[in-house]
Chain A
Amino acid sequence: MTQSFPFPRRMPVRITFGLGMLLLGIFGFVPAVGVLVASFTDLRGIPGLPIDFVGIQNYVDFFSPAKWADSANALKNTIIFAVASTVVQIVLALGIAVLLNRSIKGRAFYRAVVFMPTILGVTVTGLIWSLIFNVSGGPAASVLNLFGKHSAFFGDPKLALALVILVQVWMVIGISVIIFLSGLQAVPEELEEAAEIDGASSWQRFRNVTVPLLAPSITANVLLGIVNALQSYQLIYVLSGPNNRSTQVLSLLVYVQGFGGASGTTLSQSQGYAAAVSMVQFVLVAIVSLIALAILRRREAKL
């Protein structure tokens, strides 16, 4: 669609647009496409080594018995992390948004406080919660002590992933709350009133009037949550380190395989393999988001 162009010369548009796209292309798209190419090579982290095409060997390796224990572990953690953090985040965010949509004093302040962790960032958030879950005498340990129990928290393989999910929800829930709040403001008061006159209880009003009207916000939140959770690893990196098996997700596996961190293994520095793991992760994100989108769209259409 070439629209009429009012300005005297087209050259300036082409120059700035072209330069911009060039920059975005080189530093944005070249690495992205490069991952696909690199995943078929035996690329290594040390410069100067010859690079050979190895076909689908890296993908075969990923699913091979020798590596399957690690791969399956990372796949499992990634999916649990993504699903659990998205679900918990959305349920809690919806509750908080409904609460903050009521006429209580200081709503803006509460909203700002809930959104604040987003700005603190992963390092600060990670350190704050490491302090709280400090094994020797942190507040969480003290509470457990009252009941005569103790825990290794992030050192406990059964608990670590759940705690990481908890902190992740704490950190990103503000965004979901804001999205739900803006959705709630679009729900006409008249509808709620009509339902109230018809004798609907407040739960029925919430379930049958508010939630269906919030469908677009729920779609946005689910997609955002899934994409974020499947790709986020910075928080896990800070909270439990890159090599903690019980919290290792695919993106951390990419980091560990590509840039070491695992001490003295020959696996590390194999960046071709790491690129293949990136692609597996990419396909997973795409499949999960498309499925989620299809389900949510169908639900939206039904309403």
Chain B
Amino acid sequence: MTSTASPRLERGARSLTRSRSRRRIPIGAYICAFVLLVVFLFPLLYLLNTALKSQAEFVSNPVGIVTDPQWGNFTTAWHKGDFGAYILNSVLYTLAGSIIGTLLTLVLAFPVARGYIRGAKYWSVVFVLVLFLPNALITQFQLLLRLGLYDTQLGYILLVGVGVGVGPLLLSGFVRSIPRELDEAAAMDGIGYWRYLFTFILPLARPALVTVFILQAVWIWNEIILATVLLADPTKFPVTVGLYAFKGTYGNQWPLLAAATFIVAAPLIVGYVFIQRYLVNGVVGAVKG
């Protein structure tokens, strides 16, 4: 798990400095890296380029570099698409869903990893099963319908919240790196289980929990099909559905559509710069677990 990853990384770093002193500048590698940058950044730059064009310029010259930037496209798209409301919805779903999922992961994975619950071996099988459930679109819809939670924000949040994915597996792996003696010492001092779980384990397992949180948050933020099926009222749509609906309405006005897409993408890219490290560690940890 995460603990075994760090010495490997160190070794990698050491061998890297060694090879750096030996090799000359690898020109071929830089050319490949440049191609890579173009492949991954060109689409975004092209999006921005289109977003800044007027409809007339797009029609007469769709591919060329923008000559007269129309910054007003962004405000027009923002108002026409009502993206403020959609983004707020998405933030609500993402935060609430990920908090539920992370708390679930904590209260489920810790006692199972420690064997504090009867049948811990079978419960850890359950954590693996969660990953391989069938596509339950139909019954998720029926369940919410029958519970009276169809087209409610609560219903959608609960369904995305239980989508814990690799979370419990990831955390039970991490919990094993926390010494059992700590539990015993805390218990000796008369600290109860709940207080121990939330004031000792929660901060100690923070790296793993942050990863669990972010992996789930990324999933919820991107979710579109469940939201399409479970929510009927447009004022409850997350931004993914909102943007898709915007495409349906303004599909032929590419500059406006590109501006709307950019509005949705920009906060993600900015946020990505900050959480990048956790995400990368999370993927590595999830696979090793």
Contact = CB atoms under 8 A, between A and B. Distances in A.
Interface in A32-51: 32, 34-36, 38, 43, 45, 47
A102 B31 CA distance: 13
Interface in B39-80: 39-41, 43-44, 46-47, 50, 62-63
Given A35-B136, A278-B137, A234 B162 contact: no
Contacts of B134: 32, 35-36, 278-279, 281-282
Please indicate which of the listed interface residues B136, B221, B243, B272 has the most CB atoms of chain A within 10 Å of its own CB: B136
Contacts of A255: 137, 225, 229
Given A7-B193, A116-B269, A271-B142, A32 B136 contact: yes
Contacts of A129: 43
A298 interface: no
Contacts of A274: 137-138
B225 A128 contact: no
B75 to A, nearest CB: 19
B114 A3 contact: yes
A272 to B, nearest CB: 8
B224 A237 contact: yes
Contacts of B8: 182, 185-186
B111 A179 contact: no
Interface string B155-181: 000110111100000000000000000
Contact of B139 (A115, A117, A137, A275): A275
Interface in A94-153: 96, 99-100, 102-104, 106, 110-124, 127-132, 134, 136-139, 142
Contacts of A27: 140, 143, 158-159, 161-162
Contacts of A203: none
Contacts of A8: 187, 190, 192
B65 to A, nearest CB: 12
Contacts of A7: 183, 187, 191-193, 196
Interface stretch (A15-23, A66-74, A81-89, A205-213): A15-23
Contacts, number: 277
A238 B248 CA distance: 11
Given A24-B162, A127-B247, A131-B50, A178 B283 contact: yes
A53 interface: no
A12 B192 contact: yes
Contacts of A186: 8, 11-12
A127 B257 contact: yes
Nearest to B275: A119
- Classify the interface of chain A: helix, strand, loop or mixed: helix
Band of interface residues on A: 35 or more
B207 to A, nearest CB: 16
A14 interface: yes
B136 A31 contact: yes
Given A116-B269, A185-B9, A237-B224, A127 B139 contact: no
B128 interface: no
B264 A123 contact: yes
Interface string B69-106: 00000000000000000000000000000001001100
Given A119-B279, A128-B44, A128-B261, A6 B244 contact: no
Interface in B225-273: 225, 228-229, 239-240, 243-244, 247, 254, 257-258, 261, 264-265, 268-269, 271-273
